[in-house]
Structure 1
Amino acid sequence: MDLTEIIPDGHTISEPKKLRSQEWFGRKGKDGFIYRAWMKNQGIPAHQLQGKPVIGICNTWSELTPCNAHFRELAQSIKNGIYEAGGYPVEFPVMSLGETLMKPTAMLYRNLVSMDVEESIRANPLDGVVLLCGCDKTTPALVMGACSVDIPTIVVSGGPMLTGKYQGRDIGTSDIWRFFADQQSGKMTEEEMFAAEACMARSQGHCAVMGTASSMACMVESLGLSLPQNAAIPAADSRRKALAHLSGSRIVEMVREDLKMSDILTREAFENAIMVNAAIGGSTNFIIHLLAIAGRMEVDLTINDFNTKALKIPLLANLQPSGKYFMEDFFYAGGLPALMKALQEKLHQEAITVSGKPISQNYEDAECFNTEVIGTLDSPFNPVAGISVLKGNLCENGAVIKPSAASPHLMQHTGRAVVFESIEDFNHRINDPGLDVDKDCVLVLKNVGPKGYPGMPEVGNMLVPKKVMDTGVTDMVRISDGRMSGTGFGTVILHVSPEAAVGGTLAIVQDGDVITLDVPVGSLNIAISDEEIASRKEQLSSTTKVAERGYTRMYQTHVEQAHLGADLDFLKGGSGSKVLRDSH
Structure 2
Amino acid sequence: MSKDLRIKSHVFDGSQRAPNRAMLRAVGLTDDGFKQPMIGIASTWSEVTPCNIHLHGLAEKAKTGVKTAGGFPMIFNTITVADGISMGTEGMRYSLPSREVIADSIETVVGAENLDGYVAIGGCDKNIPGCMIAIARTEVPAVFVYGGSIAPGYRNGQKLDIVSVFEGVGKHNNGEISDKELHGIECAACPGAGSCGGMYTANTMASAVEAMGMSLPGSSSNPAESKEKHEDVEAAGEAVYNLLEKGIYPKDIMTKEAFENAITVVMALGGSTNAVLHLLAIAYSIDVDLTLDDFDRLQKKVPHLADLKPSGKYVMEDLYKVGGIPAVMKLLLENGYLHGDCLTVTGKTVAENLAEADDLAEGQDIIRPFDNPYRADGPLVILKGNLAPNGAVAKVSGVKVKRHTGPARVFDTEKEATKAVMNNEIKKGDVLVLRQLGPKGAPGMPEMLSISAILVGKGLGQDVALLTDGRFSGGTHGLVVGHIAPEAQDGGPIAILKEGDIVTIDSDTQELTVDISDEEIARRFETWQAPPLHQKGVLGKYAHNVSCASIGAVTDNFRD
Give yes or no for TM over 0.5. Answer: yes
Residue 517 of structure 2: which of 529, 549, 552 is its match? Answer: 529
Q: How many Å separate the matches in 1 of 2:256 and 2:241?
A: 26
Q: Which residue of 1 aligns with 2:5?
A: 18
Where 1:174 maps in the other structure, the secondary structure is: helix
Cα RMSD between the aligned structures? 2.0
Q: Which residue of 2 aligns with 1:283?
A: 272
Q: How many Å separate the matches in 2 of 1:311 and 1:302?
A: 15
Q: How many Å separate the matches in 1 of 2:545 and 2:331?
A: 42
Q: How many Å separate the matches in 1 of 2:202 and 2:41?
A: 20
Residue 554 of structure 1: which of 532, 538, 541 is its match? Answer: 541
Please list the CA deviations of residues 100-130 of structure 1 after superposition, one character each: whole Å capped at 9, or x if unmatched: 3451331122112211111111111311110
Aligned-residue offset at 1:463: 4.6
- Aligned 8 A contact 1:460 1:478 in 2: no
Q: Which residue of 2 aligns with 1:393?
A: 386
Aligned-residue offset at 1:311: 1.5
What amino acid maps onto 1:430 in structure 2? Answer: V
Q: How many Å separate the matches in 1 of 2:450 and 2:382?
A: 17
Answering whether residue 351 of structure 2 is matched by residue 356 of structure 1, we say: no
Q: How many Å separate the matches in 2 of 1:65 and 1:21?
A: 35
User: Structure 1's 336 and 47: CA in aligned 2 closer, same or farther, altered over 3 A?
Assistant: same
What amino acid maps onto 2:248 in structure 1? Answer: L
Where 1:388 maps in the other structure, the secondary structure is: strand
Aligned-residue offset at 1:180: 1.4
Aligned-residue offset at 1:20: 3.1
Aligned-residue offset at 1:487: 1.0
Unmatched 5+ residue regions in structure 1?
4-15, 574-584
Answering whether residue 285 of structure 2 is matched by residue 299 of structure 1, we say: no
Answering whether residue 301 of structure 2 is matched by residue 312 of structure 1, we say: yes
Residue 431 of structure 1: which of 417, 422, 434 is its match? Answer: 422
Describe how 1:447-458 pairs up with structure 2 within 5 A: 447-458=436-447
Q: How many Å separate the matches in 2 of 1:462 and 1:211?
A: 16
Where 1:46 maps in the other structure, the secondary structure is: coil
Where 1:283 maps in the other structure, the secondary structure is: coil
What amino acid maps onto 1:550 in structure 2? Answer: G
Residue 56 of structure 2: which of 61, 72, 92 is its match? Answer: 72
Q: Which residue of 2 aligns with 1:375?
A: 368
- Aligned 8 A contact 2:66 2:72 in 1: yes
Residue 497 of structure 1: which of 477, 485, 509 is its match? Answer: 485
Q: How many Å separate the matches in 1 of 2:470 and 2:460?
A: 23
User: Structure 1's 384 and 176: CA in aligned 2 closer, same or farther, altered over 3 A?
Assistant: farther
Please list the CA deviations of residues 229-281 of structure 1 after superposition, one character each: whole Å capped at 9, or x if unmatched: 01111011111000111111111010111110000010100111111100011
- Aligned 8 A contact 2:44 2:80 in 1: yes
Describe how 1:121-132 pairs up with structure 2 within 5 A: 121-132=110-121
What amino acid maps onto 1:204 in structure 2? Answer: A
Q: Which residue of 2 aligns with 1:119?
A: 108
Q: Which residue of 2 aligns with 1:99?
A: 83
- Aligned 8 A contact 1:208 1:327 in 2: yes
Please list the CA deviations of residues 542-582 of structure 1 after superposition, one character each: whole Å capped at 9, or x if unmatched: 22x32333332221111101101001134769xxxxxxxxx
Which region of structure 1 is more displaced relative to structure 2, 33-42 or 201-210?
33-42
What amino acid maps onto 2:270 in structure 1? Answer: G
Residue 529 of structure 2: which of 535, 541, 544 is its match? Answer: 541
Aligned-residue offset at 1:134: 1.3
Please list the CA deviations of residues 306-347 of structure 1 after superposition, one character each: whole Å capped at 9, or x if unmatched: 110231311122110121111100001111111111111111
Q: Which residue of 2 aligns with 1:138?
A: 127
Which region of structure 1 is more displaced relative to structure 2, 493-502 or 306-315?
306-315
Q: How many Å separate the matches in 1 of 2:224 and 2:103?
A: 24
Q: Which residue of 2 aligns with 1:404?
A: 397
Which region of structure 1 is more displaced relative to structure 2, 521-530 or 173-182?
173-182
Q: How many Å separate the matches in 2 of 1:190 and 1:459?
A: 24
TM-score (norm 2): 0.94
Aligned-residue offset at 1:384: 4.8
Please list the CA deviations of residues 85-105 of structure 1 after superposition, one character each: whole Å capped at 9, or x if unmatched: 111111111222332345133
User: Structure 1's 18 and 449: CA in aligned 2 closer, same or farther, altered over 3 A?
Assistant: same
Answering whether residue 38 of structure 2 is matched by residue 47 of structure 1, we say: no
Aligned-residue offset at 1:29: 1.7
Residue 14 of structure 2: which of 17, 22, 28 is its match? Answer: 28
Q: How many Å separate the matches in 1 of 2:294 and 2:453?
A: 32
Where 1:569 maps in the other structure, the secondary structure is: coil
User: Structure 1's 350 and 18: CA in aligned 2 closer, same or farther, altered over 3 A?
Assistant: closer
What amino acid maps onto 2:341 in structure 1? Answer: E
Aligned-residue offset at 1:460: 6.4
Please list the CA deviations of residues 142-188 of structure 1 after superposition, one character each: whole Å capped at 9, or x if unmatched: 11022111110100110001121111121122312321121111222
Where 2:83 maps in the other structure, the secondary structure is: coil
Q: How many Å separate the matches in 1 of 2:74 and 2:63?
A: 8
- Aligned 8 A contact 1:134 1:159 in 2: yes
- Aligned 8 A contact 1:295 1:572 in 2: no
Q: Which residue of 2 aligns with 1:563?
A: 550
Q: How many Å separate the matches in 2 of 1:571 and 1:332?
A: 45
Aligned-residue offset at 1:461: 6.5
Q: How many Å separate the matches in 1 of 2:374 and 2:535?
A: 50
Q: How many Å separate the matches in 1 of 2:142 and 2:558?
A: 19
Q: How many Å separate the matches in 2 of 1:516 and 1:218?
A: 33
Aligned-residue offset at 1:371: 3.0
Which region of structure 1 is more displaced relative to structure 2, 92-101 or 490-499?
92-101
Which region of structure 1 is more displaced relative to structure 2, 98-107 or 242-251?
98-107
Q: How many residues align?
A: 550
Aligned-residue offset at 1:518: 1.0
Q: Which residue of 1 aligns with 2:66?
A: 82
What amino acid maps onto 2:320 in structure 1? Answer: F
Aligned-residue offset at 1:54: 1.2
- Aligned 8 A contact 1:460 1:480 in 2: no
Q: How many Å separate the matches in 2 of 1:402 and 1:549?
A: 34
- Aligned 8 A contact 2:165 2:182 in 1: no
What amino acid maps onto 1:79 in structure 2? Answer: K
Where 2:278 maps in the other structure, the secondary structure is: helix
Q: How many Å separate the matches in 1 of 2:393 and 2:551?
A: 13
Aligned-residue offset at 1:538: 1.5
- Aligned 8 A contact 1:342 1:377 in 2: no
- Aligned 8 A contact 1:461 1:492 in 2: no
Answering whether residue 202 of structure 2 is matched by residue 213 of structure 1, we say: yes
Q: How many Å separate the matches in 2 of 1:572 and 1:97?
A: 29
Q: How many Å separate the matches in 2 of 1:464 and 1:136?
A: 18
Where 1:495 maps in the other structure, the secondary structure is: strand
Please list the CA deviations of residues 420-469 of structure 1 after superposition, one character each: whole Å capped at 9, or x if unmatched: 12223323433345x4x420111111111111100000026735888x98
Q: How many Å separate the matches in 1 of 2:450 and 2:406?
A: 18
What amino acid maps onto 2:369 in structure 1? Answer: T
Q: How many Å separate the matches in 2 of 1:425 and 1:169?
A: 33
Answering whether residue 495 of structure 2 is matched by residue 507 of structure 1, we say: yes
Aligned-residue offset at 1:19: 2.7
Q: How many Å separate the matches in 2 of 1:375 and 1:150?
A: 39
Residue 44 of structure 2: which of 47, 57, 60 is its match? Answer: 60
TM-score (norm 1): 0.90
